[in-house]
Amino acid sequence: MDLQYFAGTNAWWLAHLSSNSDVDTSLAQMAATGYKIVRVWGFGDANTPPPSMNTDPNSVYFQILNSTGAYINYGPDGLQRLDYVVHAASKYGLKLVLPFVNNWGDYGGIAAYTAAFNCSATTFFTDSVCQKVYKNYVKTIVTRYRSSTAIFAWELGNEPRCNGCATSVITNWATNISKYIKSLDSNHMVTLGDEGWFAPADGIGDGSYGYGGAEGVDWVANLKIKTLDYGVFHLYPNSWGYNYTWGSTWIEEHDAAAKTVGKPAILEEYGTPFPYNHTETEAPWQATVLKSGLAADQIWQFGPNGTSVNPASLSDVNTIYYGSAEYVTLGTDHAKAMSKKKV
């Protein structure tokens, strides 16, 4: 991708659709918006195969983890779905960010590893068995798609946390895994996928939740890892105990820290839940991004229009639907404004 500022989105569910047509409809609408990148779950872990009566997005899984080992699902309800997303993204001129594991229990995540291999949410990052299985999955995905022009970046995980741990645990893990990914594919970028928590050592903020290191993340230390190409951070004041105007402060702090380290940064997720007005709360954040040096932002999340699967089954309270008035403001208009920023 040429050096430029751009807007993107999240559609975690895209590779969990069984219909090629629904994938095409969704990606075509993203491209028409002016989005350049879309973040899609590159994981789908389970301890047992889902029941046959399950419907999208709960009918697809990428690997089974149990006490006997890990088993990749290469079938039509497995990685063939991700295959089509990668193919279609290239067709529509979109780039993908693919995280390899979820911190949360949705679609397996670290919880699926802990259930199968007796590590915990905190020891996952250092447990030899869990890390061996995780690295095998990373290798499977990276080697499968490393020649694709549709890949924007590999992401170590979605919102990794190690609550109560020294921040060195995740920093060491991120160093080792990003180095491993680069040994498999030196042509694509790698990022961590974290929420952007600061630690006391960073000297940023007031020491409250987002700045105290309680989740075992030091954003500045992680950004300095040589084999991580850019930093990401997320923004959900409502979930973290902050007011919405604080969101612009959070953006400015990450922009300043990234400039100090000398690496790009992206606001990778941001949203406000119903019944809050999306435009009223998120437009000021977008204005702050436009004034900053951040490379991009990716709103959470895209809602399609006209798919055979009910969009409500793919959505959460932060979703903004294609064709709505708020989508025009926060999607189409913002993407156009980002594309016009001078490099």
Place of tokens 């990794």: 160
Q: What is the spatial distance between Cα 177 and Cα 191, in angstroms, rounded to a whole number?
A: 10
Q: What is the largest CA-CA distance in the chain?
A: 54
Closest by CA to 89, choosing from 26, 10, 43, is: 26
Q: What is the spatial distance between Cα 306 and Cα 18, in angstroms, rounded to a whole number?
A: 15
Closest by CA to 63, choosing from 128, 127, 120, 135, is: 135
- Give the CA-trace dihedral at 131, 269, 34, 107, to 10 degrees: 50
Question: Please, are residues 231 and 265 in contact by the beta-carbon 8 Å criterion?
Answer: yes
Please tell me the total number of residues recorded for the chain in this structure: 343
Q: What is the spatial distance between Cα 96 and Cα 26, in angstroms, rounded to a whole number?
A: 14
> Considering 155, 159, 195, 215, which one is annotated as catalytic?
159
Amino acid type, 333: D
Question: Please, are residues 221 and 167 in contact by the beta-carbon 8 Å criterion?
Answer: yes
Closest by CA to 195, choosing from 209, 182, 205, is: 209
> Considering 195, 215, 269, 282, which one is annotated as catalytic?
269
Place of tokens 């993908």: 96
Closest by CA to 195, choosing from 268, 99, 261, 104, is: 268
Active site residue 253: no
Active site residue 159: yes
Residues labelled as active-site residues: 159, 269
